[in-house]
Every structure is written in structure tokens, then in C-alpha cells.
Amino acid sequence: MLTSLAVVEVNKATIGAYPYAIRALVSLLRDGKSREQKEAATALYTICLFPDNRRRAVECGVVSILIRIAESGLERAVEVLGLLAKCKEGREEMERFNGCVGILVRVLENGSSRGVQYALLTLNLLCSYSERMRVEAKNEGALAICVGLVEDDNERIGKNASNLVQILSGNQSMR
């Protein structure tokens, strides 16, 4: 029900400003069963489309939980990470999580089209702002994977892969 309410733009801000809404979704992500985690991730994705809610979600400790869930195969978690990587606090938390880049690279290798798209978005943002993340992505094999994805039929995947190739090749300055 929360996801349905959050579809309305004005509700995203209202729900996110309610002190326990995001915290409850994070708890459900952490402690829930597979179906509950998927629903919580979907609600968080919708709520985090509103930029102010990204920081709130990060403050509730969602990043490490999402990364662990993404590692177990829930691609909706990667989609939420893509939104959270748009804020400085989200990128900083992802950078603190040992193995984050490796998990995202595995999504590039094995994920669905949507999972690959969001993994590329997240890696682009992380590598644009952090030399350490750029080095880690190269070491995990992201460059070779992205070269193969540049010609993907999905235009967003091709464009994001091309951007990441540029970043990892050092042909694009850090932001």
C-alpha cells in the first residue's frame, strides 16, 4: 500500500518526512522474508525518487542492507542503490562497504537488463567521484564487461557502458 501511495509525487515527500516510514522499510529489508524484502525495496525505490528521501534512507542504514540483498540476487536493491548513488552520502556509504563494486560487477555479468542498467548507473556515479572505486572497478573486470555492453540493444545500457568505459579508461575527469 505504501508503494501505491508513493506513486503520487506529493506523497513521496510526505512519506519520507514521516520519521518512521523509511526506518520501517529498512527494518523490513533487513529482517523480512524474500517477498517482504522485494516489496520494501520497491517502496523505497519509489520514495527515493524524491531526492530529499535519499539522504534520509542512507541515514537509516539502508546502504549496507541493500548491498547484501543485491548480492543475494534481488535486483530491485540495485535499482535503489542507483538512486542512492546520486547523493553524496549514498556514495560515501557504498564506498565504505567492502565488496560493493564486486557485487555490482557481478550484476553486470549475470543480471537482467534492468539490473545491468542500474548497476552501470551506480558504478558510473561511484567511479566518477572516487579514484579508489575506479581502481576497484578495473580490478574487478568492469572495463572488459563494459566494452562488451557498449553495443547492447538497450540504448541506456550502451550509453552507460560507454560512459563507464570512458571513466575507467581515464578519458573523463573526476567530478
CATH number at residue 106: 1.25.10
Does 68 lie in the same domain as 147? no
Does 117 lie in the same domain as 88? no
Query: What pLDDT is stored for residue 58 in this prediction?
Result: 97
Grid cell 542500474 — which residue?
118
> What would the mean pLDDT of 41-59 be, rounded to a whole number?
93
Does 172 lie in the same domain as 122? yes
Q: For residue 31, what are the domain limits?
A: 1-97
Of 62, 80, 97, which one is at a domain's C-terminal end?
Answer: 97
Alpha carbons within 13 A on the beta-carbon side of 116: 22
Which has more confidence, 94 or 19?
A: 94
Does 14 lie in the same domain as 70? yes
How does pLDDT run across 74-102, given as a tens digit for each residue?
Answer: 999 999 999 999 999 999 999 999 999 99
